Copies of this chain bind each other. A is one copy, B any other.
Amino acid sequence: MVTEPVTESDAVAFAQTFKALSDPVRLRLLSMIAARAGQEVCVCDLLDAFTQTPPTISHHLKVLRDAGLITGERRASWVYYRVVPSALAALSQLLDASAMTATADA
């Protein structure tokens, strides 16, 4: 069992990704996109679930995109989004490893 204290540069990278998840709107957006497994989701479908205006939703989608958590593709008049499973898995593993290490005896 390795007791890894996370390097400073890794911390910066992970923190940026977690920051993308630190907003309720973004968390719900990601969840809604993830919930449609193979299907793709267009922005117009997402808008209905929020009170925020289109520019705000678009801003949040951009934050998620810049964080590498989702990808967007334009087809015809609509933009479709998908999640990047590996990105979520990486975060999950970091938290799980920390939880395990902390639980283990000295």
- A39 interface neighbour in B37, B83, B106, Cβ under 8 Å: B106
Contacts of A32 in B (CB 8 A): 5-6
**A interface SS class:** helix
How far, in whole Å, are A91 and B96 apart by their CA atoms in the complex? Answer: 8
Q: Is A76 an interface residue (CB 8 A)?
A: no
Q: How many residues of chain A have a CB within 8 Å of chain B? A: 50
Contacts of A18 in B (CB 8 A): 18-19, 21-22, 27
A-B contact pairs, 21 of them (CB 8 A): A3-B37, A4-B31, A6-B27, A6-B31, A6-B32, A11-B24, A11-B27, A14-B24, A15-B22, A15-B23, A15-B27, A18-B18, A19-B19, A19-B23, A22-B22, A34-B102, A37-B104, A38-B104, A85-B102, A86-B99, A91-B95
